[in-house]
Amino acid sequence: MIATHFRHVCISKLEIYESRIGEAIAGLTEEQTWWRPHEKALSIGIILQHLNGNVSQWIIAALGDEADNRNRASEFEEHHSLSLAQLYHQLQHTVNKACDIIYGVGE
């Protein structure tokens, strides 16, 4: 009973935060995606890459028993070849997969 509730809360939080990210980045330009106020700051594009890596490693690889192919260092590189839409689509896919895995834990 508690495990089922916990799974549903985890899934709900992931879906809510993924949606809020989508709302926050809606309307940004490609230039704004990779803009940094100074050299040590992270751009929105880098943050999206890093979030994708975190969810992949800590949920999909750990709970889903899948290979951890995360390359954390590359998450902090600017990949201007990826559009904001592509970055967000990757995160959506990763969050959906993570939710499926969480749903199946303990089943």
pLDDT at 107: 64
pLDDT in tens, 61-76: 999 989 999 999 888 8
Mean pLDDT computed over 46-69: 94
pLDDT in tens, 16-37: 999 999 999 999 999 999 999 9
pLDDT at 1: 73
pLDDT in tens, 68-103: 999 998 888 887 789 999 999 999 999 999 999 999
pTM: 0.90
Angle at 48 between CA 51 and CA 63, to 5 degrees: 25
Q: How far is CA 107 from CA 3, 20, 24, 77, 100, in A?
A: 10, 29, 35, 38, 12
**CB-based contacts of 64: which residues, under 8 Å, 6+ apart?**
97, 98, 101
With b for 16 or more beta-carbon neighbours within 10 A and e for fewer, the 85-102 pattern comes to: eebbebbbebbebbbebb
One-letter amino acid of 47: I
pLDDT at 65: 85
